Amino acid sequence: MTATVPSGYDPLASAGDPADAAPEPLIRMAAPVTGEEEVDAVREVLASGILTNGPFTRQFESAMASLQGTEHAVAFANGTVALSAMYLASGIGPGDEVIVPSLTFISTATSVLHAQATPVFADIRPDTLNLDPDDVVRRITPRTRAIVPVHYGGQAAELDRFREIADDAGVLLLEDAAQAHGATFRGRPVGSWGRAGMFSFTPTKNITTGEGSVVTTDDDELAQHLRLLRNHGITRQYHHELVGWNWRLSEMQAAIGCVQVSRLAGILEIKRANAEVMRGLLEGIDGVTPPEVPAECEHPYMLYTVQLDPERRDDVSRALTAAGIENRIYFPPAHRQPIFAHLPDPHLPATDAAAGRILSLPFHSRLREEDLAFIAEVLEGALTA
Ligand SMILES: Cc1ncc(COP(=O)(O)O)c(C=O)c1O
């Protein structure tokens, strides 16, 4: 049996996307790195007969905890439920406000709703596209319970400032590190700065289990609470201490995850070298701003998002698509989505401006220098046309 779905297929982005009608791109946004090692790992699971809640889940959790520098990592079926679990286990509930960016995937905010709390959108910095600490301070109220920076494209938000702001206000710092495996801020891994952090493993990420996630934390009680929420509150067989869900990761996915974690350093090395090449190529082109990388950040380049003149951005996007280069607006702001239309406008000028300027280019680790040169050439052609 052969797979017919192209590698890098992203279910998050494709439902009803007009790009579905476009011809098959030559250069896709994502290309997961998987091989015989993953096949062998899945085979080993199948041969063992333990398909869920087994040794590979524990091994994957321990590999992620050690990668991100935390005591615990608790695996979940996907990042969206992991965010809900992280919010719920942190005691967030009705009447609470949680400060989140709007330039993010929708579930940073909708998981707050799943916890029956209220997402409060804050603005971003125009250069890094990460949450703006000063704007976060302005939005803190007596109801604020947590601040959730998203590490946009994988690049760390200003975690030292957010920790200070959260401590001063007596609220929690929780990280949405969905895109940020292996990223550091001031040399310390993301996911270890706040009470907890969430990492997703969908196929567009630098490492993938198809679907899956972990929540990292140093807090023993929080880790135990997360495990209970994941598995129906079971403390022993058919004994339920709290109302939970089935949010477990399968052993097949965990086994793939163990191999993927071992691949990450190599993938990041290629991506960081490619980022140097790409910066060199784009620096010579008028009208395009490559990603801003502050000295404190080691960027994992899950995304490579450039900023363009808003008058030209859509032309550039169309030219890239016509040349077979997939490209995407990561993300249309959450606060502009129909599900939030009933809320007062949070007034996010930097987010709204960025929404017209950003364009994410393919940047997976299988790209060669000639692919990068082709992307830059088409981009330059569109800007000078
Ligand atoms: C910033 C961010 N938060 C949350 C999620 C949700 O993760 P998942 O798709 O695994 O549910 C994603 C997924 O892409 C994401 O990019």
Q: What is the mean pLDDT of the chain?
A: 94
**pLDDT at residue 16 tops 60:** no
Long-range contacts: 49-55, Cβ < 8 Å, 24+?
50/251, 51/250, 51/251, 51/252, 52/248, 52/250, 52/251, 53/231, 53/248, 53/251, 54/251, 54/254, 55/251
Indicate which CATH number applies to the domain containing 353. Answer: 3.90.1150.10
Pair (227, 293) in one structural domain: no
Report how far apart, in Å, the C-alpha atoms of 194 and of each of 23, 190, 314, 319, 347 are.
44, 9, 38, 42, 27
Indicate which CATH number applies to the domain containing 123. Answer: 3.40.640.10
DSSP character string of 16-69: T-GGGGSPPPSB-S------HHHHHHHHHHHHHT--BSSHHHHHHHHHHHHHHT
75 C-alpha to ligand 1 centroid (Å): 14
Ligand 1 probe mutation, 12, 129, 211, 213, most atoms within 8 A of CB: 12
110 C-alpha to ligand 1 centroid (Å): 11
Inside any domain, residue 150? yes
202 C-alpha to ligand 1 centroid (Å): 8
Average pLDDT over every residue of 111-125: 98
- pLDDT for 23: 64
Q: Are 51 and 191 in contact (CB under 8 A)?
A: no
Pair (218, 340) in one structural domain: no
Nearest alpha-carbon partner for 148 in 184, 96, 188, 186: 96
Average pLDDT over every residue of 145-149: 98
State how far the Cα of 207 lies from the Cα of 365, in Å rounded to an integer. 11
Residue 115: both structure tokens together = 């916890």
238, 258, 278 - which closes a domain: 258
Pair (169, 281) in one structural domain: no
258, 291, 324 - which closes a domain: 258
79 C-alpha to ligand 1 centroid (Å): 5
- Find all residues with CB under 8 Å of 31, minimum gap 6, and list them: 7, 8, 364, 365, 366
Pair (76, 196) in one structural domain: yes
Pair (63, 127) in one structural domain: yes
Inside any domain, residue 365? yes
Q: Are 97 and 262 in contact (CB under 8 A)?
A: no
Residue 358: both structure tokens together = 């950003």
276 C-alpha to ligand 1 centroid (Å): 27
Range of the domain at 200: 36-258
105 C-alpha to ligand 1 centroid (Å): 6
Provide the pLDDT confidence category of residue 22 given band limits of 50, 70 and 90.
low
Pair (238, 277) in one structural domain: no
Pair (170, 277) in one structural domain: no
Inside any domain, residue 22? no
Provide the pLDDT confidence category of residue 25 given band limits of 50, 70 and 90.
confident
Q: Which residue has the tokens 């364009």?
A: 359
Inside any domain, residue 25? no
33 C-alpha to ligand 1 centroid (Å): 19
State how far the Cα of 155 lies from the Cα of 192, in Å rounded to an integer. 14
Ligand 1 probe mutation, 76, 111, 202, 213, most atoms within 8 A of CB: 202
Q: Are 96 and 113 in contact (CB under 8 A)?
A: no
The string of pLDDT tens digits covering residues 32-89 is: 999 999 999 999 999 999 999 999 999 999 999 999 999 999 999 999 999 999 999 9
Q: Counting atoms of ligand 1 from 1, which one is nearest the CA of 111?
A: 4
Average pLDDT over every residue of 315-324: 98
Pair (162, 131) in one structural domain: yes
Q: Whose CA is nearest to atom 14 of ligand 1?
A: 105
Residue 145: both structure tokens together = 């319970």
The pairing of beta strand 196-200 with beta strand 172-176: parallel
258, 289, 316 - which closes a domain: 258
Pair (253, 272) in one structural domain: no
Q: Counting atoms of ligand 1 from 1, which one is nearest the CA of 179?
A: 16
Inside any domain, residue 376? yes
Inside any domain, residue 146? yes
**pLDDT at residue 157 tops 70:** yes
Average pLDDT over every residue of 179-188: 98
The H-or-E segment that residue 175 falls in is strand 172-176
Pair (306, 174) in one structural domain: no
Inside any domain, residue 21? no
Pair (247, 268) in one structural domain: no
Inside any domain, residue 214? yes
Q: Which residue has the tokens 């880790």?
A: 223
Q: Whose CA is nearest to atom 9 of ligand 1?
A: 79
3-state class of 356 per DSSP? helix
- Pocket around ligand 1: residues whose beta carbon is below 6 Å from it? 12, 78-80, 104-105, 107-108, 150, 176, 178-179, 200, 202, 213
Q: Whose CA is nearest to atom 10 of ligand 1?
A: 79
DSSP character string of 234-300: EEETTEESS---B-PPBHHHHHHHHHHHHHHHHHHHHHHHHHHHHHHHHHTSTTEEPPP--TTEE--
Number of domains in the chain: 2
Looking at the chain, the number of H-run helices and the number of E-run strands are 12, 15
Pair (59, 100) in one structural domain: yes
